Chain A
Amino acid sequence: MKDVNVVALCVFVFFFLAVTVMGFLAAKWRRAENENSLDEWGLGGRSFGTWVTWFLLGGDLYTAYTFVAVPAAIYAAGAAGFFAVPYTILVYPLIFTFLPRLWSVSHKHGYVTTSDFVRGRFGSKGLSLAVAVTGILATMPYIALQLVGIQAVLDVMGVGGGEDTHWFVKDLPLLIAFGVLAAYTYSSGLRAPALIAFVKDTLIYLVIAVAIIYIPIKLGGFGEIFAAADEKFTANKTGGLVPGGAGQWTYATLALGSALALFMYPHSITATLSSRSREVIRRNTTILPLYSLMLGLLALLGFMAIAAGIKVQNGQLAIPQLFEDMFPDWFAGVAFAAIGIGALVPAAIMSIAAANLFTRNIYKDFIKKDATPAQETKVSKLVSLLVKVGALVFVLTMDKTVAINFQLLGGIWILQTFPALVGGLFTRWFHRWALLAGWAVGMVYGTIAAYNVSTPKQAHFGGSSAEIPGIGEIGYIGLTAFVLNVLVTVVLTFVLKAVKAPEGVDETSPADYTADAGDAGVRDLPKVGAGSH
């Protein structure tokens, strides 16, 4: 077991305490008169402007796990791990196109979750349930992975304990961190992560800016860094500085599939719906790429870890270890705080999003149909606690690879809700049963295909890519499943329309998809909307 880095730990604890205070005070920030509704607790009053939304989305999408895993992938395999950059480039044109429509229709009808919209659009509780369950399943392991991010930092600081430490002592810091997180999420709702995101992102940008200048100077420049990396990849015969011919399909399909999936995740939608107007969303697509730039620089740290001679068994420790070795203790503390707080913000938003899905689309639709907004909020708050406890149990009782496997599956699964959601935003042509069937096919195919991927180290779930049937190249399973999903949906829609299967009732009208704040019926929800003008 290594020694505790006292200075770094003090800095870390200082920042952690600061955001804890902020988290609890957040309840008072922009407080509305009626706080007992999901619009308040779960969506921050739907009041966030451009900058708050920017911080919130950035804090939400670029998680601690991202900071640890992306450079770790580069450290292990080189170029293949860099797909995260084209992936985030492709996200913004996509959300520019469809999210404003989702915002408008959600405001008009008081939708809190994507499943709310799917139910309203297709008049199908079954389809809505499928979307909700997929969302919850995909989010849970993602929350668990945030814990893995915190664990990595604690380990490097020397408070993670050794192999023979009693499990309770070993996990105590993690338990405390999550207990505190759960408490302020419970009391402040989405306002807590929104406020803390300011601290998180400021720290992250600061650390990256310093790291990207300071570390290359210490290592003798980028030329040296890439030369060292090239040497390692050549010696190990794995990875490389550029993807080879066979790896290019994988690279492109991973980038595209991940980009399509990102805004299907409940937590991305929660952050989006909390914004004040549809303009806020479009404006955000023009400033969010700053995070992509940061991610690209961050990814390069993986090469620096190689050049700095970092040798770790667990690749996820590579970057924290690089910070520990390269930075003076106090700044390493700042960097660790950045990663640690980087885990808290998304974990809070994800648990809120999963809780909202449960409350709106399982509790209210199937268990207690006449739930009042106050009851909904109460259930959501409790579920947000349960979700976090579940994630904690997951990480503490099971091997870390289980969480990673499930997160991999979660990405494949969540992509299967794309046709119902994005399809539904633009057209009512798809039949609700066809969408449900397509979803099921995509889910089953994706799960089986991922299960069958094996590596020398792992018999199952060895990765997210497999041969694409009919093409023969290796590609992202999620995207293959998605294509299959769409094919099934289209074919069955033709069939179902031909046999005149009953279509659900569509409670939305075309004007709902383009309404903006200020239009009649847009704010404060289910009141009778008179339509625009």
Chain B
Amino acid sequence: MTQTSTDKPPVVTPVRAVIALCLLAPFVAMLWVSSYAKTEPLLAGIPFFYWYQMLWVLISTVLTVVAYKLWQRDQRARRAAQGGEGR
């Protein structure tokens, strides 16, 4: 996503750092299995292990939407800055 030429804005910007965090968070949460490998607390009779991961489906969706919106804004801003040039 990041090709640079001399007059382009920097590759790493705060907005892009936020995008990266949004995309990385699910990896940390899901691969850290010991953080959720337990039965309690139950939700409607379903052990924590299951409803927590299902909840992360929703959380990661929200994070991806945020990343997508921020990315769109970032790209639009860059295009505007370049006078419709480059992508």
Contact = CB atoms under 8 A, between A and B. Distances in A.
A497 interface: no
A482 interface: no
A368 interface: no
A88 B30 CA distance: 11
B23 A96 contact: yes
Contacts of A88: 57
Contact of B30 (A90, A293, A532): A90
A328 B30 CA distance: 38
Contacts of A286: 61, 64-65, 68
B3 A296 contact: no
Given A90-B26, A286-B64, 7 more contacts: A86-B31, A93-B67, A225-B45, A252-B32, A256-B27, A289-B64, A300-B46
Contacts of A251: 33
A241 B71 CA distance: 39
A289 B31 contact: no
Interface stretch (A138-146, A148-156, A510-518): A510-518
Interface of B: 1, 3, 22-24, 26-27, 30-34, 37-39, 42, 44-47, 49-50, 53-54, 56-58, 60-61, 63-65, 67-68, 71, 84-87
A85 interface: yes
B45 A221 contact: yes
Instruction: Say whether chain B's binding surface is mostly helix, strand, loop, or mixed.
Output: helix
Given A256-B31, A286-B61, A241 B53 contact: no
Contacts of B63: 93
A82 B37 contact: no
Interface residues of A, number: 48
A123 to B, nearest CB: 20
Nearest to A98: B1
Contact of B3 (A82, A85, A292, A510): A510
Contact of A222 (B34, B45, B60): B45
A223 B45 contact: yes
A339 interface: no
B50 to A, nearest CB: 7
Interface string A287-300: 00100110011001
B26 to A, nearest CB: 5
Contacts of A101: 1
B46 A85 contact: no
Contacts of A241: 39, 47, 49
A256 B29 CA distance: 12
Contact of A252 (B26, B31, B38, B68): B31
A378 B22 CA distance: 45
A405 interface: no
Nearest to B69: A286
B26 A514 contact: no
Contacts of A514: 1, 3, 87
18 contacts: A82-B49, A82-B50, A85-B53, A85-B57, A86-B30, A86-B31, A90-B27, A92-B60, A92-B64, A93-B23, A241-B49, A242-B47, A248-B34, A293-B54, A297-B54, A511-B3, A532-B85, A532-B86
